[in-house]
Structure 1
Amino acid sequence: MAGILDLLNSDLGKTIINGVSGSTGTDQSKTSSVLTMGLPVLMKAMERNASTSEGAQGLLGALNGKHDGSILDNLGGLFGSGDQGLKTDGSKILGHVLGQKQQGVQQVIGQKAGLDAGSVGNILQVAAPILMGVLGKQAKQSNVSSQNGLGGLLGGLLGGASQTGAVTKEQTFLEQVLDSDGDGSVIDDVAGMVLGGSGKKGGLGGLLGGLFGK
């Protein structure tokens, strides 16, 4: 989880938050809250999907093709254009990654961020293609070409809050979700990852040095 916070606290992360906020007409602090909770959920869901050979090959194909990281080259222009195609693409990504859990995930995050599920969905739709671009760029830099490599990439980017000794607001959020949600949601998987400390050491600190450091 610390890794995701590193991303959102980087210059690129601030650009993403500001851009998504402007594109969706949502307060920046609430946009940040949604992304802080939503991005690890999406990445954990991708990690779970990539645990199968078919799922891994599908994700690798996307990262080597459309989502190769080139979207990050001109985020200012992308947000400035108000490209509806971004949300259309994001909607497809969310549907594929979260499946039938999508609405429930949006509702839970919305309750914690003070937004309705539809507003959360709008934010995640804009952010999802950018997150895929981040993954695609890192996959290219790390020469990821196998299921094991992909699992290592996602696990490393997710990181582990307990490895750093950090107690974050995301942990509180996930504990609250566990209290109110017993349907086996993907959020429970994220909670297990954070509260159980199964993430890898280093998080984004090392992995994203080359990605965001200029």
Structure 2
Amino acid sequence: MNITDLISGGIGSQAVEGISQKLGIDKNQTQWVVSAAIPLMMSALNYNAQKSPEQAQGIQNAIDTKHSGGIFDNLAGLFNDGPTEDEDKIVNHMFGRNTENVKESLSEKSGISIGKIGGILALLAPLVMGYLGKKKQQDAGAGSSGGGIGDLLGSILGGGGSNTNASGGGLGDLIGSVLGGGAASNTPSTQPNISGGLGDLVGEFFNQKNDKGTKGSILDSLAGMFAK
């Protein structure tokens, strides 16, 4: 399984179908939000994992104890139940103080109400976490060094453009390898920076120097990357 499967492949198609039916949203609109939101979630997790060992350990524990990837065996159950308070909490943990900004940006660009955007994000959150859990297992099964997600204790994790010298394949490396690219530029721009890979592009969305128009263009670029 790779990120394309999660966004626009078999799993992504099931997610779009289930979300659009449960929340009463047009499929094309749902696909656009899914394609833009999942990279944002990955980037937020990458940032959190590198921010402090405590936050990294929290993500590690969540993946090890709650998100092993088994959710992909019962996608119908996830969408039939609809968004829950626990899933909404995952979204808030991912985006922190940026949560409302993310919802507002996705809502404004897609034409979907903020309330329904919140529902979409809540249903996507366990899929993103389950994807990381499944990838960790696959990496371990393939004999990858560094323990897959790796040792999260005592260091700020590398990957995805971190400037730390941490060694081993930690969670930051795992998510960084999924996203590609490096750290976001601090230089304001009128157009999204797509030269450095998906990680750089997503980083520009969270760059506070970029205005709403630029953020909207970034969301369009993200969605376009995974268009069928």
Indicate if the aligned counterparts of 1:60 and 1:150 stay in contact, CA closer than 8 A. yes
Deviation at 1:174, TM superposition (A): 4.7
Aligned partner of 1:150: which letter?
A: L
Larger Rg: 2
State the distance in 2 between where 1:36 and 1:132 align. Answer: 16
Distance 2:23 2:63 in 1: 25
The match for 2:84 is: 87
Structure ranking higher on relative contact order (CA contacts 8 Å, 6+ apart): 1
| Structure 1 segments (4+ residues) deviating >6 Å | none
**Counterpart mapping for 1:105-144 below 5 A:** 105-143=102-140, 144=148
Q: Distance in 2 between matches of 1:50 and 1:136?
A: 15
Aligned to 2:41: 42
Once residues 94 and 42 of structure 1 are traced to their aligned partners in structure 2, the CA distance between those partners, rounded to angstroms, is: 8
Per the normalisation by structure 1, the TM-score is 0.71
Answer yes or no: is 1:155 the counterpart of 2:176: yes
CA contact (8 A) 1:21 1:27 kept: yes
Q: Residues 181 and 103 (structure 1 numbering): CA distance in 2 closer, same or farther, change over 3 Å? A: farther
Give the match for residue 101 of structure 1.
Answer: 98
Structure 2: distance between partners of 1:33 and 1:119? 14
| Contact 1:4/1:36, CA 8 A, preserved across alignment | no
Determine which structure has the larger helix proportion and give its number: 1
Contact 2:63–2:132 (Cα < 8 Å) also in 1: yes
The residue number in structure 2 matching 1:200 is: none
Say whether the 8 Å CA contact 2:16–2:30 is kept in structure 1.
yes
Q: In the alignment, residue 180 of structure 1 is paired with which amino acid?
A: K
| Structure 2: 5+ residue stretches without partners | 141-147, 153-168, 182-193, 223-228
Note the 1:18-57 alignment, pairs <5 A.
18-51=17-50, 52-57=52-57
Q: Tell me if 1:75 matches 2:75.
A: yes
Moved more, 18-27 or 106-115: 18-27
Counterpart of 1:59 in structure 2 is 59
Residue 151 of structure 2 aligns to which amino acid in structure 1?
A: S
Structure 1: unaligned runs, 5 residues or longer: 196-214
1:132, 1:31 → 2: CA distance?
20
Counterparts of 2:3 and 2:180, CA distance in 1:
8
Q: Deviations over 1:50-104 (max 9, x none)?
A: 012111111011111111111111212432xx225x5222101011111221111
SS at match of 2:88: helix
Q: 1:146 and 2:151 equivalent?
A: yes
Deviation for aligned residue 1:26: 1.2
Percent identical among aligned pairs is 35
